[in-house]
Structure 1
Amino acid sequence: MSTERVLFAFVIVLALTLNVGFIAGDINDINHHNVYELFAALVVSLIATVMKFGDRSPLGSSMLATSLVADLQLIAAAAAWGFYASGGAALTMHQGATVVSLSIGAAVANVVSVVLLIIEMANLRR
């Protein structure tokens, strides 16, 4: 068992679970979604992307692409939340749904990344 592969898989799965933790709840109620969890999901997703730059496996480019998509979606969600909250008022249902729906897109990209990781691990020869 390679410590490097374990850490790689850990960070990829952590990015997915933090993202899913953020999107869990009523899409129309922003009180069900924590801004700090969105921040954590974004930070871990960016770390996963940096780690994927060093991956030279056959599926590495696809995994990097999914990670870049997740980063873009999470950055857009965080930017939207920051923009909407800059006025000082609470987010409306529509604004909250926009933030959460962008995060759902990132979760889909993270799911694809985890599936690719599982495929790659299943194809490893000992």
Structure 2
Amino acid sequence: MNLDKVISGFFIILAMTINFGFFYGDIDSLETHSKYELFAAIIINLIATTLKLGDKTQMGSVLLATSLVADIQLIAAAIIWGVAAYAYTIDREIASIIISLSGGALLANITSVALYVGETIKSKR
């Protein structure tokens, strides 16, 4: 068993599940979405991204790209939430934008997990 692969896989899957936990709920209301869960999703995604930096393979490049997409979308969601909370009001449109950005990050995380599982199955042969 390769401990590096276990830790990397753990953070890749944890990033996806925490992101899903934030995404799940009413799309136009932030009452069912926790800002702390969004913060946790950003931190875990950043950890997963740093774990993918050392891989020099083509698959590693694609996995890194999916993590960067998720990072950018989650950070953008947090920035929009912060600006709207302090400079404007959070209405249904702003809530929808925040949730939609986290949905895009979730899709990138699902792609990352699917590629990771595919790579694991392929290397087992």
Give me the whole-angstrom Cα distance separating, in 1, the residues matched to 2:56 and 2:17.
25
Mark the runs of 5 or more structure 2 residues left unpaired by the alignment: none
- Paired letter, 1:73: Q
Residue of structure 1 in register with 2:22 after alignment: 22
Runs of 4+ more than 4 Å apart: none
1:67-106 aligned within 5 A: 67-87=67-87, 89=89, 91-106=90-105
Residue of structure 2 in register with 1:113 after alignment: 112
Q: CA deviation at 1:87?
A: 3.4
Give me the whole-angstrom Cα distance separating, in 1, the residues matched to 2:26 and 2:6.
34
Matched, 1:10 2:10: yes
Q: CA deviation at 1:17?
A: 0.4
- Paired letter, 2:56: R
Q: CA deviation at 1:93?
A: 1.1
Percent pairwise identity:
46
Alpha carbon RMSD of aligned pairs, Å?
1.3
TM-score by length of 2: 0.95
- Paired letter, 2:93: H
- CA deviation profile, 1:26-70 (whole Å, cap 9, x unmatched): 001110100000000000001111110012344100000000000
Give me the whole-angstrom Cα distance separating, in 1, the residues matched to 2:70 and 2:91.
24
- CA deviation profile, 1:73-101 (whole Å, cap 9, x unmatched): 00100000000001375x21111111000
Q: CA deviation at 1:2?
A: 1.0
Give me the whole-angstrom Cα distance separating, in 1, the residues matched to 2:96 and 2:86.
17
Give me the whole-angstrom Cα distance separating, in 2, the residues matched to 1:94 and 1:88.
12
Q: Count how many residue pairs are aligned between Structure 1 and Structure 2.
A: 125
TM-score by length of 1: 0.94
